[in-house]
Amino acid sequence: MAGILVIDDDSSIRESLELYLSEEGYRVRTAETGTEGLNLFVEEPADVVILDIRLPDVDGFAILEDLLEEDENVKVIMITAYHDMETTITAMKLGAFDYIHKPINIDQLDIAIKKALKTIEMEKRIDGLLMEPRRTFKTGDIIGTGPQMSEIFKTIGVVSQSRATVLIQGESGTGKELIAKVIHNNTSPDEPYIAVNCSAIVETLLESELFGHEKGSFTGAIARKQGKFELARHGTVFLDEISEMSLNLQAKLLRVLQEREVERVGGKERVPVHARIIAATNKDLRRMVKEGTFRDDLFYRLNIVSINIPPLRERPEDMAPLVDYLLTKINLELHKRIGGVSDEVMEMFLDYDWPGNIRELENLLVRAAVVAKGQILVKSDFPDLLGGERGEDVTAGADDEGKDRSGRFLTLEEVEERHIRRVVTETNLNKGEICQILGIARPTFERKLEKYGITFERE
């Protein structure tokens, strides 16, 4: 029988809640003051505490902190007659499980109590699992147990013994740069690793970034600047989204690969290139070669060693360890203690298409961890993703007032993501035309595609 403690100075509320909750089968105790309630809790801890914010002796927030200090797993439902934003935010920041306004809606309170008890049950179950030794993850780990990932690990081992050029292909969010860093760290960890996003820099600046420039070579060139190939020394230059590089720059990059030297913009001196080049793309370069949008000679120079990363939807065996790894990382970054996801959530993860792959999974876990009220992430912690069937567009379900299916108002970031996804999926336009619709510059559009894990296959 679950125990509930009611702390409220209003005798009518205490009596009515005690009567109702007792009839529902709970073990109920009540207290008129914060001090009395805290003493009762110390004597016999309750599973759920219903706590009034305004008490005659001690501020309810102080009692909330004392309760959580006594038992960090207790679920405290705050109640108040005040509807101001500040007290709501303060209560949730201090660790309240839920927040209900007076006059108390008994159905709303009943839902909150049941949700709190369900969370406690799952936390107890996960605590038993956490007693077992768990794998220790390191920053930069690549998670994968299936045959495709095993082959990738083998290729990384072989290529790390040489300085061969590597081409990494895979959908957005699959971890292409992570693999590039692993190759670098296993080849020349003491040398620089320099990443360049070819889609986020306009062509005129990209040439200067890669090759450097001489003083006075163009307006604003007030001093000589070394390019990325020089700065990398004997390390690695990672060229992300190589498919977005113009044909003009492709020709110059081809010369770097062939001659292993560069000329700064506006200069004549030939600078030797010692760095390994790793390129990555989410496009089909062979198809681009046939269409004439990517040089065939450059493709063959880049494709010395090719690594093709499978999308997350083809790696169901890796879902559980990936969630475990990402939550370990999130807990460290956010100072949380999320123990895992419920069985229902894991089933839904396995039944979803993940168009944004691992990046989308990580973003959703971060959002859920921020708003979660328990140590186990449940279905309600993923309102945007898990409202429909397999592969359903996450833009569906929002009404014209900017709400999700549950009636919650969306954040500006969520509205932006939904709008960009809708324009990308419902039109057949290229990036330039979409940028005009959105009213943003192309580099900004590229950053937002990466931020939200949106796949874009068109030119």
Percent of the residues in the chain that have a pLDDT greater than 70, as a whole number: 89
pLDDT at 346: 92
Tokens linked to 306: 């090719």
Query: Which among 424, 395, 427 has a CA at the least distance from the CA of 410?
Result: 395
Mean pLDDT for all residues in the chain: 84
Q: Is a pLDDT exceeding 50 seen at residue 449? A: yes
One-letter amino acid at 279 equals A
Q: What is the pLDDT of residue 208?
A: 86
What confidence tier does 457 reach under pLDDT thresholds 50, 70, 90? low
- Give percent above pLDDT 90 in the chain: 43
Pairing of strands 225-226, 212-213: antiparallel
Q: Is the peptide bond before 103 cis (omega within 30 degrees of 0)?
A: yes
**Span 314-319, average pLDDT:** 92
* pLDDT for residue 172 is more than 80: yes
Q: Read off the pLDDT of residues 331-385 as tens digits, 9 standing for 90 and up.
A: 888 888 888 898 889 999 998 889 889 999 998 999 898 888 778 898 888 876 6
Tell me the mean pLDDT in the region 403-430: 73
The one-letter amino acid at 256: V
| Torsion region of 95: left, alpha or beta (phi above 0 gives left; psi -120 to 50 gives alpha) | left
DSSP string, 383-430: TTTTTSSTT--TTTT--TTSB-TTSPBPPHHHHHHHHHHHHHHH----
Band (pLDDT 50/70/90 cuts) for residue 399 is very low
Whole-number pLDDT of residue 261 = 92
pLDDT tens for residues 38-49?
Answer: 999 999 999 999
CB 449 within 8 A of CB 360: no
Tokens of 290: 């046939």
What is residue 43's predicted lDDT score, i.e. its pLDDT?
A: 93
Token readout for 397 is 């379900």
Structure token pair of residue 351: 């039944």
Q: Which domains does the chain carry?
A: 3-130 (3.40.50.2300), 147-308 (3.40.50.300), 313-452 (1.10.8.60)
Least confident of 74-78, 82-86, 365-369: 82-86
Provide the pairing of β-strand 261-263 with 270-272: antiparallel
pLDDT at position 458 over 80: no
pTM of the model: 0.64
Q: Which pLDDT value is given to residue 249?
A: 92
Closest to 243 (Cα-Cα) out of 305, 299, 185, 159: 299
- What's the average model confidence in pLDDT over 13-28? 93
Place of tokens 């939550």: 327
Does residue 396 have a pLDDT over 50? no
Is 20 a residue whose pLDDT tops 90?
yes
CA nearest neighbour of 34 among 72, 3, 67: 67
User: Which of 96-105, 172-181, 279-288, 436-445 bottoms out in mean pLDDT, i.e. has the lowest?
Assistant: 436-445
- Judge whether 411 and 402 are in contact, CB under 8 Å: no
What lies within 8 Å, CB to CB, of 332 at 6+ separation is none
Q: Which two tokens stand for residue 229?
A: 């190939």
Residues linked to residue 197 through DSSP beta bridges, in sequence order: 240
Work out the pLDDT band at 22, boundaries 50, 70, 90.
very high
